[in-house]
């Protein structure tokens, strides 16, 4: 294992551990000790790769997560021409992830978004950018499906809202009913917005 490989590994392990923790517990509940244990690295490694500490790592984890989601949406879009199906697959994926983790693993941005205060400037910026990218990805999807640009933007915002709120409710309830209900109605609504073509939902 050469220098650069080892470095990338530790760094990525740290980012993955933080992403995981953000999904399950959020930013403040997770101590460095459990984080480092999960990443299998001692403290020196963290402060070597992220001299600004825990917050910098969280920002990196958020950016990494957003990039992954965007890539996933793009991938689905290539596989599946029907935009409504892309959305459906994406939401189904989220449901599966939630269920398979005993309703612990939600969105890596959501908890940090609610925990953050006005003082956490860099963190908030990363979160705002992240949500912005998500909305943009979805808006582009709807735009390409023939929905007017401005309307597509608004529907993308509603989609992110519904997605986040549904995950929240499903999480505390310990079942997927809320997530499924939300998903179904959201897809129904968006179907009706598509330019005339029979989309039986």
Partner DNA sequence: TGACATACAGACCGACCGGTCTGTATATTC
Partner DNA sequence: GAATATACAGACCGGTCGGTCTGTATGTCA
In the complex, least distance from residue 162 CB atom to DNA, rounded to whole angstroms: 31
Contact flag: residue 54 with DNA (CB under 7 A):
yes
Binding mask 12-51 for DNA (x = CB under 7 A): ----------------x-xxxxx------xxxxx-xxx-x
Instruction: Transcribe 112-172 into DSSP letters.
Output: HHHH--TT-HHHHHHHHHHHHHHHHHHHHHHHHTT--HHHHHHHHHHHHHHHHHHHHHHHH
Measured from the CB atom, the residue of 44 and 132 that comes closer to DNA is 44
Out of 1, 5, 51, 118, the residue judged to bind a copy of itself by CB under 8 A: 118
Q: Taking CB under 8 A as the criterion, which residues in 173-192 touch a copy of itself?
A: 173-174, 177-178, 181-182, 184-186, 189
Cβ atoms of 15 and 61 closer than 8 Å: yes
Chosen from DNA, a copy of itself, none, partner binding at 11 (C-beta under 5 to 8 Å by type):
DNA
Contact flag: residue 21 with a copy of itself (CB under 8 A):
no
Cβ atoms of 137 and 70 closer than 8 Å: yes
CA distance 160 to 157: 5
Contact flag: residue 99 with a copy of itself (CB under 8 A):
no
CA distance 138 to 89: 13
Burial (CB count within 10 angstroms: exposed 0-12, middle 13-18, buried 19+), residue 167? buried
Chosen from a copy of itself, DNA, none, partner binding at 131 (C-beta under 5 to 8 Å by type):
a copy of itself
Chosen from DNA, a copy of itself, none, partner binding at 43 (C-beta under 5 to 8 Å by type):
DNA
Return the DSSP state at 176. S
Chosen from DNA, a copy of itself, none, partner binding at 185 (C-beta under 5 to 8 Å by type):
a copy of itself
CA distance 201 to 84: 10
Positions in the binding site for DNA (CB under 7 A): 1-4, 6-7, 9-11, 28, 30-34, 41-45, 47-49, 51, 53-55
């Amino acid at each position: 294992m050469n220098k650069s490989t080892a470095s990338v590994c530790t760094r990525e392990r740290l980012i993955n551990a933080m992403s995981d923790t953000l999904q399950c517990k959020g930013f403040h509940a997770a101590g460095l000790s459990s984080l480092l244990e999960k990443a299998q690295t001692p403290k020196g490694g963290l402060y070597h790769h992220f001299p600004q500490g825990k917050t910098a790592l969280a920002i990196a984890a958020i950016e990494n997560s957003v990039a992954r989601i965007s890539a996933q949406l793009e991938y689905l879009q290539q596989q599946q021409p029907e935009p409504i199906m892309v959305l459906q697959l994406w939401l189904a994926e989220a449901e599966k992830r939630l269920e398979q983790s005993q309703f612990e693993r939600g969105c890596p941005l959501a908890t940090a978004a609610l925990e953050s205060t006005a003082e956490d400037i860099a963190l908030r910026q990363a979160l705002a950018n992240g949500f912005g990218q998500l909305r943009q990805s979805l808006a582009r999807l709807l735009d390409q499906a023939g929905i007017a640009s401005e309307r597509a933007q608004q529907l993308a915002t509603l989609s992110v809202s519904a997605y986040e709120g549904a995950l929240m409710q499903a999480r505390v309830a310990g079942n997927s009913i809320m997530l499924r209900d939300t998903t179904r109605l959201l897809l129904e609504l968006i179907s009706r917005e598509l330019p005339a073509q029979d989309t039986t939902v």
